[in-house]
Amino acid sequence: MISAENFLDSRERARSLLSPNQAMESYENWGKVSENWSQYNSPKDLLPCLTHDTMHDAKEFGEIIESIGSLSSVELVWAQEYAKIYDHVCTLISSSLQSIDFRYGIAKTLLDWQMIRNYVESPNSILDLNVGCGSNSVATYLFEHPVKYTAVETFLAEYIVQNVVFSYLSTLEANDRFYDLLDFEKSNTPFPISEELEPEGERFHVPTWLAESYLSANSYDVIIAPNIPCGISNHDFMRLIKIVEKSLSSNGIVYMRHKESFEYVEKFVETVDLDNSSLFSKMRECKIMPIHCEFISSGHLTTVFARIGSNIYESVKASKKIEQQFLETESYGDILLKVAQNFSNINKNKVTEADPVFSSIISHSRDINVSSDRK
C-alpha cells in the first residue's frame, strides 16, 4: 500500500521544479469541490471517497437511473460483484463497520459504460483521469476483457483509496498485473509501462505530476475524464488537457461528464453555469471535437470527443441524431442551450422505481437482488 508520506514527498519534489507561484497552485484541491481529498486524518476518513457524493441529489439520481433503464441479468450480476468488491475494499481500508451506499457508484459507472460502448465497444487501452474510487478499473475487471488501464490522480486521499482498490483486484486473478509508479519511484527502478498490451491486461497507477513523462503518445482508445475543471487549478487543468492531447489514439474517444446545472430551458441564460467553457475551447484548439453532447440529468453534461478526421468523427458528420449535432457549434453557450432544449422531453420530476438495485439504499452486496432482463 502506498503511504501518504510517499505521495507527499513525490509531490513536493515535483513542485520544487516549478516557479514559486506555479508550485503553490499545482497538484492541490482548488476550492471547487466541498470535499478536501488532499488530506485525511485516519483510514475511516478515506471511506467517503467511495460514495460518489456529487450524485447525491435525489432528482438528478432519478434522472440518471431513468436513463440507464431496467437492468439486464448480466448488468445485475455485474452490480452484485461491484458492490461485493467494494465491501472488501471498505474492510481493507477500515474495520469501523461504516455502511457505504453503493447505489451512486453502480449507477454512475453503468451509465458511463453504456455511453462509452456506443462508440468503442471493447477498448484495448483506457486512461482514467481524476479517478475517484477507481470504479472504471473495477468495471474493466468485471467485463472480463483484457485491457491496459492507466489511472492518473491528483489528490492524496483518492490516490490512497485507488491503490487499495487496484491492489485488491490484483489478488483476484493469478496473472493480474498492477504497477504503482510511486513504488518504482521510491525504489528507483524502471516503471514497466509500455505501448504493448499484455494478454491478461495490466493496471497502472500514476500521480498527475509524473503522467506526461510516462504516458505513451496516441496510445489510449478511451480517455475518461469526469469533472476535469472541477477542483483543480488552471495549471493542473492545462496539464490534463496536454495529457489528453498527447495520449488519445487516432480513433479513440474522450468521455467526460461534468457538473453543469440549469433549472429551466426558458431561463437558461440566467441559470446556467459556464464553468466548462474553457474545456471545450481548449479541446477544439487540440482538434478534438464534441461528437456527442447530452444532459443525462439537469446537473451533469455528458460529452464524447474525438479527433478531427478519425473514423468516429467522420461517421458522426453524417448523423441525424440530435445529440450528435455539435461539430459546427463553436460557442459553448450555444452548445449548452441546444443540449438543454434536447433534454426538455425527460420527466425531471420522477424518481424511478424501475429496478430494485436503485429503489432502496444499497449498503452491502447482499442487498442487491436480481430481477427481469431488459428486453
Average pLDDT score over the chain: 80
How far apart, in whole angstroms, are the C-alpha atoms of residue 113 and residue 133?
16
Q: What is the arithmetic mean of pLDDT over 255-259?
A: 82
How far apart, in whole angstroms, are the C-alpha atoms of residue 236 and residue 345?
37
Predicted pLDDT at 362: 47
DSSP lists the bridge partners of residue 153 as 207
Predicted pLDDT at 85: 92
Q: What are phi and psi of 199, to 5 degrees?
A: -55, -35
- Mention every residue, 6+ apart, whose C-beta is less than 8 A from residue 29: 36, 37, 38, 155, 231, 232
The three-class DSSP label of residue 9 is helix
Q: What are phi and psi of 238, to 5 degrees?
A: -70, -35
Q: Which of 4-8, 31-35, 317-321 has the highest mean pLDDT?
A: 4-8
How far apart, in whole angstroms, are the C-alpha atoms of residue 259 and residue 227?
7
How far apart, in whole angstroms, are the C-alpha atoms of residue 118 and residue 299?
22
pTM of the model: 0.87
How far apart, in whole angstroms, are the C-alpha atoms of residue 258 and residue 213?
26
Which carries the bigger pLDDT value, residue 294 or residue 272? 294
Q: What is the arithmetic mean of pLDDT over 7-36?
A: 81
pLDDT, one tens digit per residue, over 323-350 is: 888 888 877 778 877 887 777 654 444 4
